[in-house]
């Protein structure tokens, strides 16, 4: 009896993860928590045990993107990674690193290219964008620097090769310590321009 109930709970988690993945892919929602809540409401499973973890949704998203439109998804990824390289060349003085869904291959049509850049002051990045006559909008992002501590970082949002770029600014020594990923709780993976070029090959 207990085993049957566990199976039902696992099945509900899987269905919820798949629905959340579909919402992320089709609606461009980047926040996994929002996607989970929407999926639970749509499926009427709000009170049905625990919701799937972010890693489960990330796996379901990878499967969804490869199953529905594999070729168009690969074309989209290539376009976003080329835009990332263009933005990284622009911001080369700030040791840019690609992070997030464009790096991992789970980017959807509305996904932004997420970069981490490193400077003594965030304003230096703004000055560089102004010098290059790039129109940008500032934003702030709260990230976990350690499991028990979150910090707020400045960032700049701009367009490059028809893709939205989000460049979050860290202190210069932040290049050695990546923030915690909300997906798996480990330090975020970061890739330099050479690694992104390899992905494109």
Confirm if 21 and 64 have CB atoms less than 8 A apart.
yes
168, β-bridge pairs = 116, 155
pTM of the model: 0.80
In whole numbers, what is the pLDDT of the chain averaged over residues? 88
Can you give the pLDDT at residue 82? 98
Lowest mean pLDDT among 50-64, 99-113, 125-139, 147-161: 50-64
Residue 1 has pLDDT above 50, yes or no: no
Give the model's confidence band at 69: pLDDT under 50 very low, under 70 low, under 90 confident, else very high: low
Per-residue confidence (pLDDT) for residue 179, from 0 to 100: 95
pLDDT in tens, 110-129: 889 999 999 999 999 999 99
Per-residue pLDDT at 191: 98
Calpha distance 154→72 (Å, rounded): 33
pLDDT in tens, 26-52: 877 778 888 888 888 888 876 555 678
Contact predicate 106/58, CB 8 Å: yes
pLDDT at 118: 98
Given this model, what pLDDT does residue 145 score?
A: 81
What pLDDT digit, counting tens, does each position of 79-98 carry? 999 999 999 999 999 999 99
CA atoms of 53 and 35, how far apart (whole Å)? 12
Of 5-19, 35-49, 89-103, 178-192, the range with the highest mean pLDDT is 89-103
Please report, rounded to a whole number, the percentage of residues in the chain having pLDDT higher than 90: 52
Cα 35 to chain centroid, rounded: 14
Tell me how far apart the alpha carbons of residues 27 and 76 are, in angstroms, rounded to a whole number: 16
The more confident residue out of 68 and 87 is 87
């Amino acid at each position: 009896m207990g085993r049957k109930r566990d199976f039902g709970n696992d099945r509900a988690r899987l269905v919820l993860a798949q629905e959340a993945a579909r919402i992320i892919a089709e609606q461009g929602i980047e926040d996994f928590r929002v996607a989970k809540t929407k999926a639970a409401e749509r499926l009427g499973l709000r009170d049905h045990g625990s919701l799937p973890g972010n890693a489960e949704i990330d796996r379901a998203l990878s499967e969804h993107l490869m199953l529905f439109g594999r070729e168009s998804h690969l074309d989209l990824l290539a376009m976003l990674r080329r835009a990332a390289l263009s933005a990284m060349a622009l911001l080369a003085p700030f040791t840019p690193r690609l992070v997030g869904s464009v790096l991992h291959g789970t980017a959807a049509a509305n996904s932004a290219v997420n970069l981490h850049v490193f400077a003594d002051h965030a304003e230096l990045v703004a000055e560089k964008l102004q010098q290059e006559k790039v129109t940008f909008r500032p934003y702030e992002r709260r990230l976990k620097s350690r499991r028990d501590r979150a910090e707020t970082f400045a960032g700049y949002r701009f367009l490059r090769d028809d893709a939205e770029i989000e460049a979050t600014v860290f202190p210069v020594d932040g290049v050695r310590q990546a923030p915690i990923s909300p997906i798996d709780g480990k330090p975020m993976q970061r890739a330099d321009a050479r690694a992104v070029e390899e992905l494109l090959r």
